[in-house]
A = this chain, B = another copy of it.
Amino acid sequence: MEAKESRTVEQIDRYLQEQAERFVSELQTLLRIPSVSADPAYRADVHRAAEFVRDQLAVAGLKAELVETEGNPIVYGEWCEAPGAPTAIVYGHYDVQPADPLDQWISPPFEPTIRDGKLYARGATDDKGQMFTHIKAVEAWMKTAGRLPVNVKFIIEGEEEVGSKNLERFLESQRERLKGDVAVISDTSQYAPGIPAITYGLRGILACEVTLHGPKQDLHSGVFGGSVANPVNILAGLIGKLHDDQGRVQIPGFYDDVVPLTEKERQQFAELPFDEAAYLQELGVPAAWGEAGYTTTERRWARPTCDVNGFFGGYQGEGPKTIIPSRATAKITCRLVPRQNAEQLTQALHDFLQANCPAGVRLEFKHWHGCDALVFDTESPYMTAARNAIATAFGVPPVFIREGGSIPVVATFREVLGLDTLLLGWGQNTDNLHSPNEHFSLADFHRGIRASAHLWHELSR
Q: Mark A280-294, 1 if CB is under 8 A from B, else 0.
A: 100111111111000
A235 to B299, CA, bound (A): 21
A232 to B359, CA, bound (A): 24
B434 with A359: CB separation less than 8 A:
no
Chain B residues positioned under 8 Å from A207 (CB to CB)? 320, 322
A314 with B309: CB separation less than 8 A:
yes
A22 to B101, CA, bound (A): 50
Q: Mark A102-141, 1 if CB is under 8 A from B, else 0.
A: 0010000000000000000000000000000000000000
B299 with A325: CB separation less than 8 A:
no
A214 to B236, CA, bound (A): 18
Chain B residues positioned under 8 Å from A310 (CB to CB)? 232, 313-317, 321, 323, 325
Judge whether A217 is part of the interface by a CB distance below 8 angstroms: yes
A209 with B320: CB separation less than 8 A:
yes
Q: A236-B235, A311-B236 known; A289 and B324 CB under 8 Å?
A: no
* Minimum CB–CB distance for A404 against chain B, Å: 5
The residue that A238 contacts in the complex, of B162, B240, B406, with Cβ under 8 A, is: B240
Q: A218-B436, A226-B299 known; A287 and B359 CB under 8 Å?
A: yes
* Minimum CB–CB distance for A270 against chain B, Å: 15
A406 to B310, CA, bound (A): 32
A203 to B223, CA, bound (A): 9
B359 with A333: CB separation less than 8 A:
no
Chain B residues positioned under 8 Å from A319 (CB to CB)? 38-39, 162, 368
The residue that A308 contacts in the complex, of B236, B283, B296, B303, with Cβ under 8 A, is: B236
* Minimum CB–CB distance for A72 against chain B, Å: 13
Judge whether A369 is part of the interface by a CB distance below 8 angstroms: yes
B219 with A317: CB separation less than 8 A:
no
* Minimum CB–CB distance for A409 against chain B, Å: 14
Interface size on A (CB < 8 Å)?
103
B322 with A289: CB separation less than 8 A:
no
Q: A239-B232, A404-B223 known; A98 and B311 CB under 8 Å?
A: no
A432 with B305: CB separation less than 8 A:
no
Judge whether A328 is part of the interface by a CB distance below 8 angstroms: yes
Judge whether A405 is part of the interface by a CB distance below 8 angstroms: yes
A217 with B331: CB separation less than 8 A:
no
Residues 67-84 (chain A) with a chain B CB within 8 angstroms: none
Which of A236, A288, A306 gathers the greatest number of chain B CB atoms within 10 Å? A236
Judge whether A56 is part of the interface by a CB distance below 8 angstroms: no
B311 with A226: CB separation less than 8 A:
no
Residues 212-262 (chain A) with a chain B CB within 8 angstroms: 214-230, 232-233, 235-243
List, sorted by A's number, 24 A–B pairs whose CB atoms are closer than 8 Å: A39-B319, A98-B317, A163-B320, A207-B322, A221-B333, A222-B405, A223-B405, A225-B335, A230-B308, A232-B309, A233-B240, A239-B240, A286-B360, A308-B313, A308-B325, A309-B325, A310-B313, A310-B316, A310-B317, A310-B325, A311-B313, A311-B325, A314-B331, A322-B406
